[in-house]
Amino acid sequence: MKLRNVRLQFITHYTERYSYIDSARIALEGGCRWVQLRMKDADETLLEETALIVQKMCKEYDATFIIDDNVHLCKKIKADGVHLGKNDMPIAEARKILGDDFIIGATVNTFDDVIKSTRQQDNETTSRDVSMTQNNEQDVVDTSMNSAKLGVPDYFGCGPFRFTSTKKNLAPILGLDGYREIMKKMKENNIDIPLVAIGGITNDDVPELMKTGIDGIAISGSVLRAENPVEAMHNLQLTVNN
């Protein structure tokens, strides 16, 4: 699937003031056209119910809709794609389940992570029977793709830029220098995969961050903490696209 709207992404967050659905609505009303639904530890029923609501909202705004972690739900409701953390399903396995019509994003923190994400091999799924029946037809894999591309994500979510309270088990802080180094090495190694910065980013950070060569930014808690979060997202959208 062709990537659209990658330059500014919003990751849903729950606060005392806003639900996950509220946060998605705020992002969309503020001009963001990429929403990732992240509901850690939510039960499957609630996750699917929320996903369907947010998906409908995204369609109304012609926005990209990504689900965090859950490959099977992504396929079931036909979301635009899924974002996978380091400890989630291997990219190659996800690609076999989803095929090329879905976006797959990968979390990275270092250039070594980038290399690993582009060279993933999933020997178990490669040798697995095509039907891959687990009493669930949504697990049927697609073996029509070039095996060399199976483990390659469509974009990277790279961070954190600075400390953020919205994510547990935080990786080492990157800062501007960290992004410069990663982008430099990606260019030297001819790795042409969009990289999106994430983690504690504010509007004031955007101009210098974009100068490092990144392709976009992902926002969550900082917008929701604003007095007027819709306006805050609108201002971010203007800054990112300036």
Q: Is 88 exposed, middle or buried (0-12, 13-18, 19+ CB in 10 A)?
A: middle
Predicted confidence at residue 95, as pLDDT, reads 96
pLDDT category of residue 142 using cuts at 50, 70 and 90: very low
| 229 domain-assigned | yes
Confidence category of residue 31, pLDDT binned at 50, 70, 90: very high
- Asked if residue 207 lies in contact with residue 176, where contact means CB atoms within 8 angstroms, the answer is no
User: Which SS3 state, helix, strand or coil, does residue 77 take?
Assistant: helix
Predicted pLDDT of residue 86: 92
Mean pLDDT of the chain, nearest integer:
89
The predicted model gives 76-94 an average pLDDT of: 96
Residue 60 tokens read as: 């109304």
Can you give the CATH number for the domain in which 196 is found? 3.20.20.70
Whole-angstrom Cα Rg for the chain? 17
DSSP 151: T
Query: Does 87 reside within a domain?
Result: yes
- Is 242 inside a domain boundary? no
Q: Is the pLDDT of residue 136 over 80?
A: no
**pLDDT given for residue 239 in this prediction:** 98
pLDDT band with cut points at 50, 70 and 90 for residue 102: very high
Q: Does 83 reside within a domain?
A: yes
Residues for the chain: how many in total? 242
* Res. 118 pLDDT band, cuts 50 70 90: confident
pLDDT digits (tens, 9 = 90+) for 149-172: 678 999 999 999 998 766 666 678
Q: Which of 55, 117, 124, 50 is nearest to 86 (CA)?
A: 117
The residues, ordered by sequence, that sit 6+ positions from 35 with a Cβ below 8 Å of its Cβ are 9, 10, 11, 12, 24, 27, 28, 54, 57, 58, 63, 64, 65, 66
Query: What's the pLDDT score for residue 131?
Result: 36
pLDDT of 226 over the 90 cut: yes
Beta strands 64-68; 8-11: pairing state: unpaired
Residue 22 falls inside a structural domain: yes
Range of the domain at 129: 8-234
The answer as to whether 1 is a domain residue is no
pLDDT at 122 over 60: no
Residue 223, CB half-sphere, CA atoms under 13 Å: how many?
A: 34
- Please give the average per-residue pLDDT across 219-240, as a whole number: 96
Q: What is the pLDDT of residue 19?
A: 98
Number of structural domains (the chain) is 1
Q: Is the pLDDT of residue 25 over 60?
A: yes
Residue range 170-215, pLDDT digits in tens: 678 999 999 999 999 999 999 999 999 999 999 999 999 999 999 9
